[in-house]
Amino acid sequence: MSHDFAFEVALRGEESQPGALAAWFVDGPLQALTPLPGLKSLDQYLPIGGASRDPYNHDGVGPLMLLMLVFRTRSALNEARSAIAAAFERLPASIAATGAGCERLLYPVSEGGAPAPLQAPFSYVVRYHRPADDEVLFVRNYLATHPHTQARLPAIRSILCYVPIEANAANGRLADANYMVGNEVVFDDADAFGAAMASPAREELRAHYREFPRFTGANTHYPMQRTRLFES
Q: How many angstroms from the chain centroid is the CA of residue 181? A: 10
Contact by Cβ (8 Å): 109, 157: yes
Q: What is the pLDDT, as a whole number, of residue 62?
A: 87
pLDDT at 1 over 80: no
Residue 167: pLDDT band (50, 70, 90) is: low
Give the H or E element holding residue 138.
helix 135-150
CATH number of 2-231: 3.30.70.100
d(CA 115, CA 160): 9
Q: pLDDT tens for residues 207-217?
A: 999 999 999 99
| Domain range list for the chain | 2-231
Average pLDDT along the chain: 93
Q: What is the pLDDT, as a whole number, of residue 18?
A: 67
Amino acid identity of residue 94, one-letter, is: S
Percent of the chain with pLDDT over 70: 96
